Chain A
Amino acid sequence: MPEVSSEDSSHPIEIDRLIHEPARLQIMTQLYVVEEADFLFLMRKTGLTWGNLSSHMSRLEAAGYIEIKKEFLDKKPHTILRMTANGRAAFNDYQAAIRKVFADLPR
């Protein structure tokens, strides 16, 4: 289950910490706007190293937010990532929560 934080007990704003981490947020944002993408594309767009991307990818996969498809292209490994319906819903909730945090701030 994703970790969740709350502001205070009277007005709890739930922030999904799994998505809130900057690197994972970048991965989720990229995958949210496309159907699927491979490792190289995500590395270029997020600026993460292979190791970093791989580790964050595993956590997102364990939470059921993304699915990973491994295949071979010209005998070379090729990893394709895709956001699941759960991941899409979680990302929508995350956006709504963040919007709520800032909506409550005085201007």
Chain B
Amino acid sequence: MNEEKKLKSVERESFLELMQDGFTEILAGMIFLVFPAFFLEPGFLFIFVIFYIIFMPQVVEAIRRKYTYPRIGYVKLREGTPPKLTLEIPVAVLIIFVTIIAVLYIASMGVIDRLFIMKWMPAVFGFIMWGPSLYLKDKTGQNRYYLPGALMSLTGVVISLADFLPAELGTSIFMNGWGLAFTILGLVRFLLFIRKYPVAGSPEDARSEQ
């Protein structure tokens, strides 16, 4: 049992090593910043998804090859199946939340329209963020990763309850606000990372020159 805990802790340390460079936060921030553009032109969504699926992994790897690996070394983490908890909790929370809203709305004899969806989109996105939060908590073992899920669902509900005209404005404020926050956080972490870890002269270079 102890060996399993030790192995889990070694795995978490390796995961944390890669998280230090701040790229995860920068990428999340960029996604949130781009999102409101979909309201202006829904076609952007298609382009974005294509870019995200096809090019993003290569782009991230190229950046890490240039800035991260020369400093802390290269490591590829094992891709296991996500823990059941990661999927079950946010899905359950989301279903409950959507059901409550739907029941309340139907109770008031309204009809679900686009404005209604727009109004509650920040809250729904906030709750969805529990998924990445729980995933990162499981992968790193650090409780601070509960924070994005908690703060984003809280701000999501607050913004959804406030009346914005047009209704898209609330979602844009939510997305851009969090996008900016994540991007700044990522850039700060990146700057701290390159300060903490200068490019390590590879011992293999010295060996090959001899």
Instruction: Please list the residues of chain A having a beta carbon within 8 angstroms of any beta carbon in chain B.
Output: 29-30, 32-45, 50, 73, 76-80, 95, 98-99
Contacts and interface: CB of A to CB of B under 8 A. Distances in A.
5 contacts: A35-B76, A39-B202, A40-B72, A40-B74, A42-B73
B8 to A, nearest CB: 8
Interface of B: 3, 6-7, 10-11, 13-14, 17, 65, 69, 72-79, 200, 202-205, 207-208
Contact of A43 (B17, B73, B76): B73
A13 B207 CA distance: 41
A36 B69 CA distance: 13
A42 B137 CA distance: 24
Contacts of B3: 95, 98-99
Among A38, A39, A40, A95: residue with most chain B CB under 10 A:
A40
A76 B205 contact: yes
A35 B13 CA distance: 14
B75 A76 contact: no
Main secondary structure of the interface of A (DSSP, over half): helix
A40 B202 contact: yes
Given A29-B7, A50-B207, 7 more contacts: A29-B6, A30-B14, A33-B11, A39-B202, A42-B73, A76-B205, A77-B205
B7 A36 contact: no
Contacts of A39: 73, 202-204
A84 to B, nearest CB: 14
A21 B79 CA distance: 28
B74 A38 contact: yes
Contact of A41 (B10, B65, B74, B204): B74
Nearest to B207: A50
Contacts of A99: 3
B106 to A, nearest CB: 49
B14 A34 contact: yes
B74 A44 contact: no
Contacts of A33: 7, 10-11, 14, 78
B208 A77 contact: yes
B10 to A, nearest CB: 5
A76 B209 CA distance: 10
B75 A38 contact: yes
Contacts of B65: 73
Given A29-B7, A33-B10, A34-B14, A40 B200 contact: yes
A92 to B, nearest CB: 10
Given A29-B10, A73-B65, A34 B77 contact: yes
A35 B77 contact: yes
Nearest to A73: B65
B205 A44 contact: no
A38 B10 contact: no
Contacts of A44: 72-73
A97 B7 CA distance: 16
A89 to B, nearest CB: 15
Contacts of A43: 73, 203
